[in-house]
Copies of this chain bind each other. A is one copy, B any other.
Amino acid sequence: MSKKSPPMSPQQIKTVARMFKVLGDPTRLAILKMLFDQPLTVTEMVDALEAKQANISKHLGMLHDAGLVSRERNGNQVTYAICEPMVFDLCQLVCCKLQKDAVQQAKDMGIKASALR
């Protein structure tokens, strides 16, 4: 017997693709990575990433639209926070894979463990 994956409509697949696409940008990942540690205001992120405020704001908008971060206004400024823990797991999975690949590649090239210390 062959195990079948659950049926998915084209619309569902599109939705999943949209989620991955939002995660598929370095700046947005950098934003999420900072937010893993703590909620931050836009200015704090702009400063940390040395990026233009307009771009950070746009990326934050996309992350918010995708339901990955929450937005809270505090007087003059807006604080963002991760509101979807899944994101952490997703990044974790990919990072682990890349790390394993790197280790494997090092082995393939005959690099000794001592050289990595």
Contacts and interface: CB of A to CB of B under 8 A. Distances in A.
A38 interface: yes
| Range class of the A interface residue count | 35 or more
A77 interface: no
Interface in A11-49: 12-26, 28-30, 33, 36-38
Q: Does more than half of chain A's interface fall in helix, strand or loop, or is it mixed?
A: helix
Nearest to A23: B20
A9 to B, nearest CB: 11
Q: How many copies make up the complex? A: 2
B86 A37 contact: no
Contact of A26 (B17, B26, B37, B94): B17
A64 B25 CA distance: 20
Interface string A1-16: 0111110101011111
B13 A29 contact: yes
A78 interface: no
A19 B20 CA distance: 9
A110 B91 CA distance: 34
